[in-house]
Amino acid sequence: MRCLLNRITAAVLVCILAVPPAHPLSARSELLKWLLNSTRYDSNLPPNFDDDEPVKVAVEIFVSSFDSINEITMDYTMSIFLRRQWTDHRLKFNGRLYNTSSVTIDPRKAMETVWIPDVFFSNEKTAKYHDVTQPNHLLRIDENGTVFFSSRVTLTLDCPMYLRKFPLDSQNCSLILESFAYTKDRIQFDWAASQIDKDEELKLPQFFLLDTNFDTCTKTYKAGIFSCLRVDFSLKRDINFYIIQTYLPSVLIVTLSWVSFWISYESVPARISLGLLTVLTLTTQTYSIRATLPRVSYVKSIDVWMAVCLVFVFLALLEFAIVNINTRRQHRYTIRRQSPTNKEKETHNNGTMSEDGVEPKLILKLKAAKIDRISRILFPVGFVVFNIIYWMVYILIDD
């Protein structure tokens, strides 16, 4: 009898030891079922629906990329982590889950099972959530009912630009978010303590991010007054690209047009070819720059630069026209002197000198050479003076 009891006791112990302990995931699963039970929780209603107090939502933004700033369409593209935090007393579970202070909900069901503030971007052109390889959402519920929800979003936002100083300009691009369905007495947005954060390796193409300014605002529509948040990004354009691609080539083209002043005025094809080549090259460069900019009604600084450069190149070609006119007058005078009638007159006048004792042919040559010598000094000095005035005006004067 005693042996039988010992065998039964041993068998019971083996069975007890063979039964696996309850897995923590099962406890979390039971907790979520209890929290999100439709009889006690309705995800269609905000937390304070029956109260007079609005739901306070703290918003934080993490900028992962900031690029594609387009002057033609006047917008910019950025990817952010939009983080929101609020308190929903219906989701409290103090002491119901041992050694765990929070639970995370599957991102595929997060937006369907829990009430989430209906945030939208009022200056948005296009936007999308990321879903590779799973929907990029994080929803965590703390034991005191605090809900943290983060989403990865890519946005193309409107950014009106003032381009009078382009490419020496600074721009201010905004991001504005607000509630679509709930008025200010239902939802109130506020910036979180950290407000905004960005990737340490974040770099903007052609721009420097100088500062970010945060503000709270309200929007009034026919449907009511809505709470909103605004962040302004202060951007300074990096001019190095335009110095290499625009300013330096145009300076070289203008300088090339001055080479004609050192070419003999008798080399007509060479000077005409050089003048036309520089004019056409600068005209082509001007049109290529305008193709990348919007058609605004005011004059931009790049327009002033290209126009003055074109004037200098055109004046260099015009200078040769004046020299050529003097040369042609010289040839006409020579032909006239070689005619029999003029030879008789010159013999009668007893010489070939003008009133001041200088041969007229030599006078015309001296005039043409003098125009070239003056141009060699006048054109570079004028261009340097223009550069000093241009850079002082557009750099020192504020937008």
Taking the domains of the chain in order of start, what are their residue ranges?
24-238, 241-396
Predicted local distance difference test score (pLDDT) of residue 7:
57
CA distance 179 to 226: 7
CA distance 74 to 163: 10
Nearest to 205 by CA among 244, 166, 240: 240
Higher pLDDT, 17 or 369: 369
Parallel/antiparallel/unpaired status of strands 187-198 and 55-70: parallel
- Does the pLDDT at position 349 exceed 70? no
Higher pLDDT, 325 or 170: 170
Mean pLDDT value of segment 6-29: 51
- Does the pLDDT at position 12 exceed 50? no
The amino acid at 185: D
The amino acid at 362: L
* Residue 209 in tokens: 């991010």
* Strand, helix or coil for residue 135: coil
Residue length of the chain: 399
Predicted local distance difference test score (pLDDT) of residue 351:
46
Mean pLDDT value of segment 37-54: 80
Percent of residues, the chain, with pLDDT higher than 70: 81
Architecture of domain 241-396: Up-down Bundle (1.20)
Highest mean predicted confidence (pLDDT) among 87-96, 126-135, 154-163, 358-367: 154-163
* Residue 388 in tokens: 């000093």
Predicted local distance difference test score (pLDDT) of residue 20:
44
Higher pLDDT, 90 or 359: 90
- Does the pLDDT at position 381 exceed 80? yes
Higher pLDDT, 158 or 39: 158
Predicted local distance difference test score (pLDDT) of residue 356:
47
Higher pLDDT, 225 or 349: 225
* 74 Cβ contact list (under 8 Å, min separation 6): 158, 159, 160, 161, 294
Mean pLDDT value of segment 327-355: 54
Percent of residues, the chain, with pLDDT higher than 90: 45
The CATH number fitting domain 24-238, selected from 3.30.565.10, 3.40.630.40, 2.70.170.10, 2.60.40.10: 2.70.170.10
Beta carbons of 182 and 198 less than 8 angstroms apart: no
- Does the pLDDT at position 383 exceed 70? yes
Confidence category of residue 53, pLDDT binned at 50, 70, 90 = confident
Predicted local distance difference test score (pLDDT) of residue 259:
92
Q: pTM for the complete prediction?
A: 0.77
Q: Where is average pLDDT lowest: 212-216, 227-231, 329-333?
A: 329-333
Q: Is 242 left (phi over 0), alpha (psi -120 to 50) or beta?
A: alpha
CA distance 288 to 50: 62
Predicted local distance difference test score (pLDDT) of residue 147:
92
**Which tens digits make up the pLDDT trace of 79-132?**
999 999 999 888 888 766 656 777 888 877 777 888 999 999 999 999 999 988
Predicted local distance difference test score (pLDDT) of residue 325:
80
Parallel/antiparallel/unpaired status of strands 137-142 and 102-105: antiparallel
Predicted local distance difference test score (pLDDT) of residue 85:
94
Nearest to 359 by CA among 346, 370, 348, 369: 346
Higher pLDDT, 197 or 257: 257
- Does the pLDDT at position 56 exceed 70? yes
Higher pLDDT, 15 or 199: 199
Measured in whole angstroms, the distance separating CA 151 from the mean position of its chain's CA atoms is: 24
Measured in whole angstroms, the distance separating CA 27 from the mean position of its chain's CA atoms is: 50
Q: Where is average pLDDT lowest: 178-187, 210-219, 272-281, 339-348?
A: 339-348
| Adjacency order of strands within the sheet including 170-179 | 119-121, 170-179, 224-237, 207-221
Work out the mean pLDDT of the chain and round it to a whole number: 82
CA distance 43 to 35: 11
- Does the pLDDT at position 23 exceed 50? no
Mean pLDDT value of segment 286-315: 92
Q: Where is average pLDDT lowest: 1-15, 133-147, 201-215, 367-381?
A: 1-15
Higher pLDDT, 381 or 201: 381
